[in-house]
Structure 1
Amino acid sequence: MTLPGKHLALKLLLGVVGCSMAWKCGEEKEPDLLENFAKLRQQEQMQAAADTVLAHPFEFRKIFDDAVKTGLRQRFHHRADGAEEQMELALEIAKIYQEKLDDPFLRNEFDFCNGLAGERLGKKLELDSLYHRAYGFQSRLEYDSAQSIYQKSLALCREIGDLRREVDHLVQIQTILYKQDYNQQALQTASGALNIAREIHYRPREAWLLYDIGNARIELGQFREALQSLDTGLEIAETLRDRNCQLSITWRRGIPLWLLGEYPEALKALNQAIELNRGLGGNPVQESRIYIDRGNVYQSMGNYSQAEKDYREAVQLVKSAGEPEEAEAVAVLNLGELRRILGGYESALDSLFKAAELFKALDNPFYRAAALKIAGDVYRDQGLWEPALGQYQLAQQTISEGEKAGARRSKRLQSEILLNIGDVYRENKNPALALESYRQAVNNFYDIEFREGIAHALTRLGNLYREQGDFRKALQNLAAAQQAAAALQNPLLESNAYYAAGLVYRDQEKIGDAEASFGRAIRTVESARGNIEGLEKITYFATIQDMYDEMILLQYRKSDYATAFHFSERSRARSFLESLLSASAKEKAESVQPFPLPEIQASFSEDLQLVEYKLTRDKLLIFVLDKDNLRATESPVSRQRLNDLVSRFRKTIGADDPADFSKKLAQSPAQLYRDELNLAGELYQLLIQPLEKLLSPEKVLCIASDEVLAYLPFAALASPGQYPPVFLIQHYTIGYAPGAAILKYSLDHRKPELEPARLKLFAVANPLGDLPYAEREVNNIAKLFSHPATLTGSEVREEEVLHHLKQEYEVLHFATHAIIDEKSPLYSYLILGRESYLNPQISPDRSIHKAVAKDDLLMAYEIFDLLLPQSRLVTLSACKTAAGRLYRGEGVVGLTRAFMAAGSSSVITTLWDIDDRFTAMLMEEFYVNWLQKGMPKARALREAQLEIIREMAQDEQFRFPHPHRWAAFILNGDYW
């Protein structure tokens, strides 16, 4: 398992942008300042005139430049009076700077320009004209034309000895080199310009040149040196009161601090930059870019929620500016990378492909290649190697095409693509090519001192050497990776390196070392979960399950079943447990830990046994827990085989392909039944037979499934070779729970028992008028309650339902349509009104398959926010309500979890769509068993299912008790 972290520091090219802003600042008030200065001079108030200059030193530099430029032009055209007036103004300003600020630069510039005449003056005006012409080409990204003209005018500068203009030319030349990714040449050019600027005391340019040098050093991986340059430049900018330069340098300081792993200082710099930007009027595009960089820092710190907030804020800021900007595309790109890290693969691809299109429109091949590369990472993380390789190759092609058009490649991005192509070679069993790719990538990362890339590459090398059996080299590389990751304080990088070391020790049979490494990896990733919120916490948890699996397998091999079970619990339904415990105990979610084994057993009654499955890479581990004992066994079935068996079984019984089921049922019900039993028997052998002797039919069997087993109707499993078959439900009363900790929570929070006569029912049925049996079902169930409240048909409206849900009913029953959104499970919903759909196509099994409007829908995220403290039972007598999105480790997220989180002790749901008539029969039988016969809920459901089995076996039309008709209903939570 690999968990790559941040891909690269995406550079936003600001060198010349910053300078342009600096020289344009204050244009609107310069005429007023000049007019005021002139009046004071005329009135011979020289001190007041000097004070005006000192109060606005930045603006008066620009006034000086304009005066000299105008004076030289008038002199060239023989307008002596006008020239003298302008030069006199410039001299007065220069004297104030020299006398009051000890700054001789303007006086030196005045003396040089005032001495120009004849041919030298003509060349001065010519080079100024060429300079501005070249800058126009540069602004249009026509770099070759700009460079050609700059070289001509630079020669003129040197010919007449214009050192100030020579510095200006070198600044623009280095900017072009930087933008084309010629960072070493840019650094050399800027350094040469800096020496001249210092020689002539050209302080404003000195500050900006130090900024430019810092940029080039960042791209070269010289982060400490970059920081030194930026710090020196910031001191000068503060002295000169150049607030634009202060902003740009303060902002840029955050980048090397981030890449050096000095996250608090990086955040401090970026926060200061935000305040400086707002003090200058709040440029939204500029602020969005700062938010992007701050989001990168938070992401490296593992504070993923804050990172996402910053990226989203960046997008909104750019949109508020009313024009498309590169910053928006970069923010979308970083959102995609963040979602990849957290395991939200669909939304990651949406963001990344959107970013790629934005960058294509902006004609930016470098960033487009970055988006395509990360899209490849998304496919790689899911084991989809062919599309991953396709994205990597497309990224390389994009960079190559950009080079032909004049863009320069980024060594860092190329190296990261190379690193990930090595992953593809490794997966395709080509270790030689993988090793070559990894070595080349790590050498490149060392060259540019990109420590995050170094840690990634060393971890990959360690994994590859382990697979080749070279454990010594593997551990050498992984030790170096651990050291690099620790210096960066990056939890994902660090956990990857320790997990990989644990695999080496495991293969060496060094159990103690393996346990220590796996433990360190798990502690590190768990510490990062506190900085994640919402669904991202669940998707992130899914990406790190291999770490838990290896620790569980290791403890199982040691026969330390208690510790193995402990890590099984730590690996499952953590977000659900945290939400329950933090709500009830007012604890922070990140402080919640699974319960110790003795506490779990203490909550069990004598009539309860829990079977907890844990699916690992090559075997299924099974824990059997009751009040007094914990036992464990295994089943030799791989994840792939179990996925295939469950899929085939569900298709055969009509859970996933009802049309095919109905066709086979009509053609040959006997053959269909035999096919069902054969698969039921095969699954029974793998899932039940290994622990049969550990189970007691007198106890409730609570099942904590794992991964694909969440979709399996255990009640329909049957002992192979028996006819008529004996289904598991005929041996055991069955309930379900996400894990032992959730079951303990349900038992600990069991509501006080009430007489059936005191139970209040609220039931909803048939809002669309197409489920007549559902309406009959609710009417018949209501007769069993002393205090029923029902809404049926056109009476059902969401507003009315929500009103009733605030009345603290003990029993809630929904016999309506449900829509399960498996991509975004919190957007699953129950239909609660006749106006809630647009031309739907309704099936007779309470499912609906067309677009639904937003009114009269009870969404899963709304249910999570309900308060149902009195609810003993919620029955979702609708289609496929047990479904949702299955997350590895967390389990199924959907309507069931939403109602349990809202406070209900138990929830009855369905694993697939069932015919309306059979649903009504089973539900009515269940409520009679529970309310009139006094059975616990789990047993009442079992007896209702057994009654359907008996009726179908005796019915001439059916003859065979197909599981499709009765096995879909499951009880989650408190079984009593």
Structure 2
Amino acid sequence: MAFIKKPILLFLISLCFKTLALPQSWISEYDFFMGQGEELWEALNYEEAAAEYEKAYRISKSSKDTLRVIDSGLKASRSLLQAEKPDETLDFLSNLEAYFSSNTPPSKKVLFLEIKGGCYQRFGQTEVMLSVYKEALSIGSPEKEPITYGNLLLNSGYGEIRLANYELALELFEKGLVVFSETESISSISKANLSIYLAYLYMGDLDKGTSYLFESFTQAKASSEPEALRNIYQYLSDYYNRKGELSTAISYAEFGLQISEEMGQGEYVARYYEQLANTYRLVGEIDRALSYYDRVLSFFQSIGNTDRVAELFISIGYCFREKGEYEEAEEVLFKALEYYRDKKRNYDIAFVLESIGGNAFYSGNFDKAYTNLKESSELAKKHSFKRIEQNALAFMLLLPEGYLSPLERKAIAKYMFSSSETLDLRHQLRSLRYLSEIHATSSLDSAFYYANQAFEKIEQQRLGTTDGILRADIFAGHATFYNTVGSWHSSMNEDYESAFDLFESSKSRVLLDELAEKNAPELELSPENQIQLKQHQKQIDQLFRQKESARSQEEIESLNHEITDAKFEYEVALERIRDAHPVWSSFLYPERVGLSDTQKLLDSDSGILYYSFIKNGLAVMLITKDEVYYHQIDGEYRYKSKLAKEINAFRDAIINVEEEVILDSLSGPLYGQLFAPFENQLESISNLAVVPDGPIALLPLDALMNDGSFLVNRFTIKSLPSVTSYLKLSDPYRKTEKDIFAVAGSGFEEGDPFLRSKTQNAFAALPFTLIEADSVSSHFEESYVLKNDAVTEAGIKNVDISEYRYLHFATHGNIDEASPRQSGLILSKKSEMERLFGEDGYLNAVEISSFDISADLVVLSACNTATGKVITGEGLMGLQRSFLVAGASSVVASLWSIYDRSTPVFMNKFYKNLVEMESEEIGFFDRISLWFNNYEPELFDYKTKALRETKLEMLDHPYYDHPVHWASFVITGK
């Protein structure tokens, strides 16, 4: 019997161990997958973390361990949500909910609801999200789960902001800060402070919120947690954007974007793309903005966030409006309005109505504009939406007379100013401008007071941007205001000194900055920094070349995105380099020249015609040695556009070789506006320097006709970007050892992608350029000519062009108005040879600017080299600017595609006249002055006179007397 009992006992013991071993096996496996999930979560690999948690979830389900099912299920759903998969997350939560009961710990229920609310937040279903969070807050405990409870308060606050319940949002954020302050989580406290800043921002009180923003930043840095920095950088970028310090704004956006990409968080990547889009839209870089907006829109459409899609429609509508595509803008704006009306969202309804009103205003539909703007402003005022109200009122002030009385306008302007003091710089500037303009007709002293306040803020904003193109785009929005205030000084006070100072302040500011920076040894970058920037620029260049050979719209759009990113990386790199060198922030840019000093440049038969576009008109100042004369055209709505059309019609007539009778008829209105007001004063003047503005820079003034005669018969004309920049250009007659370096491009290789991408036959081979180069070089002893296969980008860069007094490029030019830095000279590209040297056969504006040039004159006898993107105030962003920045004293360039057969004839005559007139102008005593570096060049020197003489000779030519052959060439500089 005892023998029998022992085996049974052993059997029972072994059976017990087996049953104990089984649960231990699945628990070990469960713990393993949970541990894997934690490691992947910590590594920010949320999708793979979710997969590991789901394995643990399935194991616990099959073992019917409810607590482990809930724990692993919550972690899996949290990971799915972080991986931007809200649909999958909701499905998962729906299955997980079956395991919850009255015995489930409240903390688990709260976490479940927090994740569920996050899904609805991503869908843009704000009301549903808030109801879920409200339930979670009713269950949760700030003492037991302070972090979760605090996050619920903040997320609820974000929802209330979307519904424009700002005071309630602020209350929730402040409660969140109190809860987090009882913990040791610095990053959570940082997030709460940031949220309070956001509430004040939406309430229109930027100043009150600023301290919370920077407190949040300090805490985020102290926490060293990527999430905290990811959150704060977006709002720092937005803050500096509002302050007008755009380079700083871009830098912070780059920091946040990098963290978001490393964390693999698509929503935050999209947010930073949107922040960059907003920045570029504000400065007029519309195509770059659209590139980012398109990516953001695609992301939110992909996850079904209809709320964010509607918001993006508004931003994209703004871009269409800026591009003049008003119907497209209205279409997307009405989609947003329909969505918000359905949701009964007052803030967003007011916002879209203001946008629709603004779009109608720019399209010229003033009745529709007034109706929508009035509804927007009234709704905004009722609910204290300050920024929207400001924007709507600003557009209403722009409406023509009849919509508002003078008293209504003044009252609105004062109200805007008083309510803008807590808003961002853009709103403050606009209010100051409107106050200034409205007071101009009643209290000039008050008008100047407000204008001067505006100027201080504009200059602060302008210098807060590192990149030259962005700086020019920013200032373009203010240049007309400078001119308008200048016109008040002239027309109402006859204070020409003050007027000239403002006219000069509005012209070629970036060119002046670049000239000053180029000539300041203390600002020279280290070789390492120069290489770094060149590498970024090379990447941009390569992408543009790929775009030129792209064969599908899809490929072009993809490359546009890459170009946008590469430009952004270049700007960030430049900003970081300058931040590392304090000398940049303390650098003093040159003062503007005054009127009396300008008059000292003139003699008795010389004058300066100074053109400045004002609001709805044009200010024209004629400056002579002893007198100043002033004329003003005003009160013409969209005058600048009207004049641009007249200039284009005249240009087209020349290019199409129309008869002189047609040119004369088209000249009449232009001469009447630009010259006729000073007909009597111009009788004693033979030399005219012209400071153009806007489209006037594209007008071939020599070819204008009056009384049947071209102006070239009457005046020697040269162009100046501004008087101050003229004085800052490099002086001629620097010590050079050789006479002329000439380049004759004979064409690209057959089948080259750059040629294949162009539609004009103007990019064919240039056989006459070879004749031209040989012809011009024959006038000099020390000449070097590159032609045929010797013309490569690498070949030119290997020549020390600083040794030459004259540079002549007889090769094709390409002007890229959308990307001025990609304008350049197309060389006779030999693809394989160029690639060996890392070149692309295309000498662009950036590369040209970096040259060291000592030339008295650069001649660009190529197509369109004197044209380019016209930026209000800054002027033409063409190739001649790049050569002037590189050190050239003056540049001759062309205003349109030139004739190959006539150009060699023109250039041969020009250089013959150049040599002869120089010897006549520079006498014995002048050469002594040159030797002692004491020579003062004349405003109208032998180069300008030689160009005019050549044009007169072409007028007598039997075949090439039409202006199409000679009026294209213009001279700029000293």
Give, in whole Å, the separation in 1 of the partners of 2:706 and 2:231: 63
Shift of 1:877: 1.6
**Aligned match of 2:900:** 916
Deviations 1:422-469 (A, max 9, x none): 224555777676455345534655677554334323434555597523
Structure 1 residue 937 corresponds to structure 2 residue 943: yes
Does residue 530 of the first structure (1) align with residue 463 of the second (2)?
yes
- Map of 1:628 onto structure 2: 626
Structure 2: which amino acid aligns with 1:420?
Answer: S
Q: d(CA) in 2 for partners of 1:778 and 1:309?
A: 47
Contact 2:270/2:299 (<8 A) preserved: yes
Deviation of residue 881 (structure 1)? Answer: 0.9
**Counterpart selection for 1:762 from 741, 745, 759:** 741
Q: Are the counterparts in 2 of residues 342 and 540 from structure 1 also a CA contact under 8 Å?
A: yes
The CA deviation at 1:625 is 1.2
CA distance, structure 1, for counterparts of residue 859 and residue 76 of structure 2: 76
The Cα shift of 1:831 comes to: 2.5
What does residue 600 of structure 1 align with?
Answer: 598
Structure with max Cα Rg: 1
Give how far 1:889 is off.
1.4
- Residue aligning to 1:307: 249
Match of 1:859 among 844, 849, 857: 844
Cα distance in 2 for residues equivalent to 1:479 and 1:682? 40
Correspondences of 1:300-699 after superposition (within 5 Å): 300-320=242-262, 325-381=266-322, 384-396=325-337, 411-426=346-361, 434=369, 437-442=372-377, 445=380, 450-463=385-398, 468-488=403-423, 490-506=424-440, 509-532=442-465, 533-558=467-492, 559-584=494-519, 591-605=589-603, 608-634=606-632, 638-654=639-655, 661=656, 672-695=659-682, 699=686
Change (3 A) 1:269 1:806: farther
What do residues 708-743 of structure 1 show as CA deviations (whole Å, max 9, x unaligned)?
Answer: 1111111111213x3xxx211111111111122223
* Structure 1 position 347, deviation (Å): 2.6
Task: Give distance in 1, aligned partners of 2:647 and 2:258.
Answer: 45
Residue aligning to 1:799: 794
Residues 449 and 790 (structure 1 numbering): CA distance in 2 closer, same or farther, change over 3 Å? same
CA–CA distance in 2 between the matches of 1:308 and 1:30? 35
- Corresponding residue SS for 1:391: helix
Change (3 A) 1:397 1:808: farther
SS at match of 2:897: coil
State whether residues 194 and 213 of structure 2, in contact with CA within 8 Å, keep that contact through their aligned partners in structure 1. Answer: no
Amino acid at match of 1:499: R
Which residue is equivalent to 1:17? none
Task: Output one character per residue of 1:864-905: Cα deviation in whole Å (capped at 9) or x when no partner.
Answer: 12222x221111121221011111211100110001111111
1:814-825 matched pairs, under 5 angstroms: 814-825=809-820
The residue aligned with 1:973 is 973
Q: Which amino acid aligns with 1:963?
A: P
Per-residue CA shift, 1:233-270, capped at 9, x if unaligned? 45654654446645654654553465541475355355
Residues 634-643 or 683-692, more deviating = 634-643
Structure 1: unaligned runs, 5 residues or longer: 1-23, 33-65, 80-121, 655-660, 666-670, 839-852
C-alpha distance in structure 1 between counterparts of 2:279 and 2:400, whole Å: 29
Q: Distance in 2 between matches of 1:410 and 1:151?
A: 32
Which is further off, 585-594 or 291-300? Answer: 585-594
Mapped contact 1:336–1:351 kept (Cα < 8 A):
yes
1:750 to 719, 722, 731: 731
- For 1:135 and 1:802, the matched residues in 2 are separated by 58
Q: Which amino acid aligns with 1:877?
A: S
Query: 1:297 is matched with which residue?
Result: 239
Cα distance in 2 between the residues matched to 1:324 and 1:187 = 23
- 1:30–1:324 Cα change, 3 Å: closer
TM-score, length-scaled by structure 1 = 0.73
Aligned: 1:733 with 2:716 = yes
The CA distance in 2 between the partners of 1:579 and 1:385, in whole Å, is 36
Q: Return the alpha-carbon distance in structure 1 between the equivalents of residues 302 and 124 of structure 2.
A: 21
- Deviation, 1:168, is 5.1
SS of 1:916 mapped into structure 2: coil
* Partner Cα separation in structure 2 for residue 434 and residue 684 of structure 1: 36
Distance 1:470 1:477 in 2: 11
Distance 2:911 2:871 in 1: 32
CA distance in structure 2 between the aligned counterparts of 1:891 and 1:454, rounded to whole angstroms: 34
| Displacement of 1:651 | 1.1
1:905 aligns with 2:840: no
Aligned partners of 1:200 and 1:356: how far apart in 2? 40
Deviation (angstroms), 1:973: 0.7
* Matched letter for residue 291 of structure 1: Y
Return 677-686 or 421-430, whichever deviates more: 421-430
Contact in 1 for aligned 2:381/2:389 (Cα 8 Å): yes
| CA deviation after TM superposition for structure 1 residue 510, in Å | 3.8
Letter aligned with residue 211 of structure 1: L
Q: Where does residue 95 of structure 1 map in the other structure?
A: none
Tell me the equivalent position of 1:879: 863
In structure 2, the CA distance between the partners of 1:916 and 1:228, relative to structure 1 (3 Å rule), is same
CA contact (8 A) 1:150 1:169 kept: no
Match of 1:891 in 2: 875
Percent identity, aligned pairs only? 22
- How far off is 1:329 after superposition? 2.7
Counterpart contact for 2:789–2:828, Cα < 8 Å: yes
Q: CA–CA distance in 2 between the matches of 1:553 and 1:422? A: 30
**Residue 962 of structure 1: aligned partner:** 962
- CA–CA separation in structure 2 for the residues paired with 1:129 and 1:679: 80
Distance 2:70 2:258 in 1: 43
Q: Structure 2 length normalisation: TM-score?
A: 0.73
Q: Is the 8 A contact 2:193 2:212 kept in 1?
A: no
The Cα of 1:181 is off from its aligned counterpart by: 6.1
**Counterpart amino acid of residue 965 in structure 1:** H
Residues in 2 aligned to 1:325 and 1:167: alpha-carbon distance in whole angstroms = 25
How far is the alpha carbon of 1:622 from its aligned partner?
Answer: 1.6
CA distance 1:805–1:411, shift in 2 (3 Å): farther
Higher mean C-alpha deviation, range 223-232 or range 620-629: 223-232
Q: Which residue is 1:265 aligned to? A: 211
State the secondary structure of the residue aligned to 1:764. Answer: strand
Cα shift readout 1:523-582 (whole Å, capped 9, x = no counterpart): 322321111222111112222344234323323331333333322222221111222234
Which residue number in structure 2 is paired with residue 16 of structure 1?
A: none
Kindly indicate whether the alpha-carbon contact (under 8 Å) linking 2:221 and 2:229 is maintained by their aligned counterparts in 1. no
Compute the displacement of 1:276 (Å). Answer: 6.0
Mapped contact 2:894–2:969 kept (Cα < 8 A): yes
- Mapped partners of 1:353, 1:132: distance in 2: 33
Q: In the alignment, which residue of structure 2 is the partner of 1:668? A: none
1:773 alignment partner, one of 747, 765, 768: 768
Alpha carbons 1:462, 1:475 under 8 Å: kept: no
The 2-side partners of 1:899 and 1:267 are apart by: 45
C-alpha change, 1:631 and 1:837, in structure 2 (3 Å) is: farther
- Measure the CA separation in 1 of the matches of 2:366 and 2:686: 53
Over 3 Å counting, the alpha-carbon distance change for 1:217 and 1:432 in structure 2 is same
Please say if residues 697 and 876 of structure 2, whose CA atoms lie closer than 8 Å, have aligned partners that are also in contact: yes
Quick check: 625-634 or 920-929, which moved more?
625-634
Whether contact under 8 Å (1:462, 1:473) holds in the other structure is: no
- 1:942 and 1:297 map into 2 onto residues whose CA distance is 53
> Which residue identity lines up with residue 856 of structure 1 in the other structure?
G
